[in-house]
Amino acid sequence: MSLSIHDELHLSNRSQWLRAAVLGANDGLISTASLLVGIAAANANSQTLLLTGLASLTAGALSMAAGEYISVSSQADTEKADLAKEQHELTHNSERELLELTKIYEQRGLDHDLAHQVAVALTEHDALEAHARDEIGLTDISTAKPLQASIASALSFIVGAIVPVMGILLLPAETLVWSLASLTVVGLILLGVVSARLGGASIIPATARVVIWGVLAMLATSFIGGFFGVAV
């Protein structure tokens, strides 16, 4: 019976899509809720609030998708340029690159002879992969994936933004500002817990930072809406 070399699950494998998903959900929930709280504080009617929420959800999801794709694509372009440069060096200065790889392994604790043996073996196996991993720091986990980040960010933004939008439909109009803020805090707590669990982090700090920044955003927009709003 064959066994996998790595049976344990490494949470860092989730880093690329998890970062985009948490950012998208957090932004969708906070930005949409803060916008709606601010407008509700200005005594806007429910139709205006619903239209605003849907517009915020749509524009925000598209903006997050485009922003993530452009940003991560730039990272991918940089990685490709580094790999092309490394391939050029391997083709024209192979001995110097072998020495460079040897020095890297020496700095990690191997003696010179063993470091040289490892460098030679890995160079013969796949020189570019060895330099990408050990010199540049590129791995399958860290490699930029623009489309994955874009989709994760857009979908998670929608999931986050739909919470305050649904609140407009379900919460009582008389206490909408406080009810919407309370609903958002609950959503932020759930987001903090879920992101901490997925990332293997401590739940309390992860949840606290999400809730604190969300509350500050809602307080700011509520103040602005109440200050500039005109009672109908």
Both tokens of 137, joined, read 């720091």
Both tokens of 216, joined, read 């500050």
In a domain, 114, yes or no: yes
Q: Half-sphere exposure of residue 226, counting CA atoms within 13 Å on the CB side?
A: 11
In a domain, 5, yes or no: no
Q: Structure pTM?
A: 0.69
Nearest by Cα to 64 from 145, 148, 154: 154
Domain extent, residue 170, equals: 15-228
Render each residue's pLDDT in the chain as its tens digit; 232 residues.
343 444 544 444 445 556 677 778 888 898 898 888 888 887 778 888 899 999 999 999 999 889 888 988 888 888 888 889 889 988 898 889 999 899 999 998 889 999 999 999 999 998 888 888 888 877 765 566 788 888 888 898 999 999 999 988 888 878 888 888 888 889 889 888 887 777 677 888 888 888 898 888 888 877 776 666 543 3
The domain tally of the chain equals 1
In a domain, 2, yes or no: no
Query: What pLDDT score does 2 carry?
Result: 40
The answer to whether residues 144 and 163 touch, using CB atoms and an 8 Å cutoff, is: no
In a domain, 7, yes or no: no
In a domain, 55, yes or no: yes
The answer to whether residues 206 and 70 touch, using CB atoms and an 8 Å cutoff, is: no
In a domain, 130, yes or no: yes
In a domain, 207, yes or no: yes
Query: What pLDDT score does 199 carry?
Result: 67
In a domain, 87, yes or no: yes
Say how far apart CA 209 and CA 100 lie, in whole Å.
42
Query: What pLDDT score does 114 carry?
Result: 92
